A and B are shown apart, each in its own frame.
Chain A
C-alpha cells in the first residue's frame, strides 16, 4: 500500500492484521481502537498526544518511556484506578479519563 510519507494515519498500513476493532470512551468521547493494543497507542493514534496534565504546573505529558518505567502516561480507567497507558491493553467499552483536573484537587496549592 502506498502513502505519502509523513501524512495520514499513525497506524502503519503494512502486512499486519490487528485485533478486533472496538470502541472505548476517552473523556466521554468514543474512540476507535483495536483489542490488545496498549491504551497509549490508541490515544496517540486518535490524535490525543497528552495523557495527563501535571498536578503542580498543569503541563501536558504523554507516552515517554513506553515500557512501564516513567509513569508519565498514567490515565484513570474505570474499575482499575490509575494505570499506565503503555502497559494497559485495550478492550471494548473501556472508560478512560485523562488526568486533567488534578491541579484544582491539590490540597496545599
Chain B
C-alpha cells in the first residue's frame, strides 16, 4: 500500500479545481478518474487523435475544460486515469483498480468529487435502445461528434434541455419537441434576482432563440408518457402534467422519432462518501442523499472533504468554486496555508459561493423537482434495468411488508445488479414511500457495498496474491 498526502477522486470541475488549488500551495496531489481523459461530464474532451478544424466547432465547455486540464498537467499533480475507486476502507484507504490490477492507497486527506448522473425515471419504453439520458446524449455529441438519432424528442426539466437541443440542432438533427416538466410561469418575478447573473440569463436566451428559429415547439408543463418501439424506439408520446410533474389528463401528442433524450435533473453520486462512513441527509433539491458538510466542506469523517455535484447538485460553476475552496482547506489542514493568507483566500472563496447560491436558488424554484414524475410507470414497466425487476414485482414485495429499499432489494433482487442500484434506487424509494405512506427519507437508500463498480475477478485475485 502506498500513501499520498491528498487524493482527489473525480476529474470534473470540482476535482480539477481542488487538485489545482491544493497543488499550488505545495500539496502533493493524486488525482484519480475513471475516464481516459480528465474533464468529467461537463468539460468532456474529444478523444486524443480528434482535432478541431474550425474555431467554434467545439463548445465553450470543452475549450474551458481544455485550459483547466492543461493547467493541471503543468502542475506537479499525479494524474491516474482509467482508474475506478471501487471501495474506501478504514475511512481513507482507497481501493483503486485499473484494467490490469488493483492497489490500495492511503490518503492523508481526501477530496471526493464524484459528480452526479441523470436522475433515472422509469416510464413505459424507457429501456428501448434510442432512449438516452441528457448527459449521455451530451457525451456522444461533445466527445465523439455522433448524434443519438436523426429525429429526437427531448423530455425532462432544466436548462440542460436547451443545451442538448443546441447540440442536436447544430449537428443537423431534427428536434421534434422539447417537453419541459416545469410550468415556468411568471418568470418576470425572478427578474431582480437574476440581475447579478446576467451571463447565465443571456446564454439561456440565446438557446431559446435558436430553438424558436429552428421551429422547435417548447412545451412547459409537459412530460414524456411512453416511448414506443420493438427493437428500438420508433415513437414517443408526451402529455401535460401538473406542477408536481404528475401526468394529468389532456391531449397527448405522438411523434415519430428514432431517439428520445430524457433529463429530469440529477442524482448526486454519494456512494463513496456513504461508504467511507460519513453522515448523509436527504435533500431532494440537491439530488437526493448528500453528505453532511461543515462550512469548510469537510464531511463528518475528519480529513474527508466533498465538493461539487456529488455533494449536492448545483452545476459546474458551483463545483469549480467548491473545488477551489476544498483545495484551500486541504492546504490549511496540511499546514501549507495558514493565518491571514488562508483567511483572505477563504473569504474570497466563500463570497463566490454565496454569490452563486443566489442563482442556484432561483433555478431550484423554477425547475423544482416534481416527484409526480415517478407516476409515469405502470406495473409492467421495468424498474431495475439490471435484474429486470418490474414496478409490479417491487410493489408486490412492498405489499408483502417490505418498508425499506434494502428489504425490496433482498426480496426481489432490485438493485443487486451491475449498476449497484444507481438506476432503480431513487425511483424505488419513491415507490416504497408512496405505497407505505411514509417519507422518501424513511424509505431509505441502498447500502453501498464494495466493489462500487464491477471489478473483474482476475483483478481482485491479483490483489490477494
Contact = CB atoms under 8 A, between A and B. Distances in A.
Interface of A: 3, 5-8, 10-20, 34-38, 40-41, 44-45, 49-51, 54-57, 59-72, 74, 80-81, 86-87, 89
Nearest to A80: B99
Interface string B125-152: 0011111110111111101111111110
Give the interface centre of A6, A36, A50, A74 by most chain B CB atoms within 10 Å.
Answer: A6
Interface stretch (B14-22, B170-178, B427-435, B440-448): B170-178
B231 A19 contact: no
B129 A62 contact: yes
B1 interface: no
Interface in B26-69: 34-36, 41, 46-54, 56-58
B136 to A, nearest CB: 3
Interface stretch (B102-110, B278-286, B317-325, B418-426): B418-426
B150 A10 contact: yes
B122 to A, nearest CB: 12
Given A11-B147, A14-B54, A70-B419, 17 more contacts: A11-B145, A15-B54, A18-B50, A37-B146, A44-B148, A66-B132, A66-B135, A66-B138, A67-B136, A68-B35, A69-B422, A70-B423, A71-B454, A74-B418, A87-B34, A89-B36, A89-B47
User: What is the interface residue range for chain B against chain A?
Assistant: 35 or more
Given A8-B172, A71-B417, A71-B419, A50 B231 contact: yes
Given A5-B173, A11-B146, A74-B418, A57 B388 contact: yes
B385 interface: yes
B52 A60 contact: no
B172 A3 contact: yes
Contact of A67 (B36, B117, B388): B117
28 contacts: A6-B172, A10-B149, A16-B58, A16-B145, A17-B52, A20-B49, A34-B49, A36-B49, A40-B140, A50-B232, A56-B387, A56-B388, A61-B129, A62-B129, A63-B136, A64-B131, A65-B135, A65-B136, A66-B135, A66-B136, A67-B117, A67-B135, A69-B117, A69-B422, A70-B419, A70-B422, A71-B419, A86-B139
Contacts of A38: 47, 143-144
Give the interface SS of chain B, mostly helix, strand, loop or mixed: loop
A65 B118 CA distance: 7
B349 interface: no
Contacts of B416: none
Given A3-B172, A66-B136, A66-B140, A17 B53 contact: yes
B456 interface: yes
A3 B129 CA distance: 25
- The prevalent SS among residues of A at the interface is loop
Interface in B385-416: 385-388
Contacts of B128: 60, 62
B279 to A, nearest CB: 24
B139 A66 contact: yes
Given A6-B150, A63-B136, A65-B133, A12 B172 contact: yes
